[in-house]
Amino acid sequence: MNTKIKCLLLDDELPGLTLLKMLCEQMPELEVVKAFNSPLTLLAEAPNLEYDLLITDIEMPGMNGLQVADVLKGKAIIFTTAYKNFAVDAFDRDAVDYVVKPVKAERLQHAVHKVAALMAVSAPAEPATPKQIQLNTDKGKALIGTDKIFCIVTSKVDSRDKILKLNDNTKITAKNCSFDKLMEMLPVNDFCRINKKAIIAIKHVQFYAHDIVTADRLLPDGSHYTFPLSEIYRNDFIKKVKV
């Protein structure tokens, strides 16, 4: 991105606010417009400030971060909190991400990258959705319809390769291809990374719990495919299955 993401910060606890500001100022894609330790002060000043993103704590006296988000419509929100039980409420407000305290630089960077990606694709016209992807496979170059893909997993033979499992129970080996590259190629709302070794097509999710995803497709023994759901990808996954 050529333009920095302008952000406001909100946390009623000064040590937490100081740490958050320090982490944000170390990210070249962010510009901290102002940091607040009072929700009411932020809401009073926000109409006169130019910003794209609010990074806010949830639990605060008087007015919590969820209520602040209800007032600030049309702005990207990243929630930070010491409590995991606010996740559903946060995503009901279309939060970009939900970062559990203590906030770590890598986890916050991951959240900010998602804001940058949303800003990059936001336009009046709907982004074009690729219907086919081209991959180098063990049999040569292949064009693969994204609607035919069930899941993508790391090859057990060579971790640089990825196995595409298709809806007709066939498999394709993509040679020397990273998950990051695959996610750039796939329709963003139709697929989700769920752990370090797997991507799944959202339409094939049948059930999910805190740390496991069950697909609607069956293994040869008649049981359903299941996949671990890692914490770092859980927020993205919850947002996509709720759409």
Tell me, letter by letter, the H, E, C secondary structure of 174-231: ECCCCHHHHHHHCCCCCEEEEECCEEEEHHHEEEECCCEEEEEEECCCCCEEEEECCH
CATH topology of domain 5-121: Rossmann fold (3.40.50)
| Under 8 Å between Cβ of 141 and 108 | no
Enumerate the CATH 3.40.50.2300 domain ranges in the chain, comma separated. Answer: 5-121
Q: Which of 127, 113, 235, 135 is nearest to 179 (CA)?
A: 135
Confidence of residue 1 (pLDDT cuts 50, 70, 90): very low
Per the prediction, the chain carries an average pLDDT of 89
Per-residue pLDDT of 49-84, as tens digits, reads 999 999 999 888 888 888 898 888 778 999 998 876
Per-residue pLDDT of 118-150, as tens digits, reads 887 654 444 555 589 999 999 999 999 999 999
The pLDDT value given to residue 160: 95
For residue 109, is pLDDT > 80?
A: yes
| Burial label, 188 (beta-carbon count in 10 A; 0-12, 13-18, 19+) | middle
Q: How far apart are CA 100 and CA 112, in angstroms?
A: 14
Enumerate the CATH 2.40.50.1020 domain ranges in the chain, comma separated. Answer: 132-242
The pLDDT value given to residue 74: 78
Superfamily for the 132-242 domain: LytTr DNA-binding domain (2.40.50.1020)
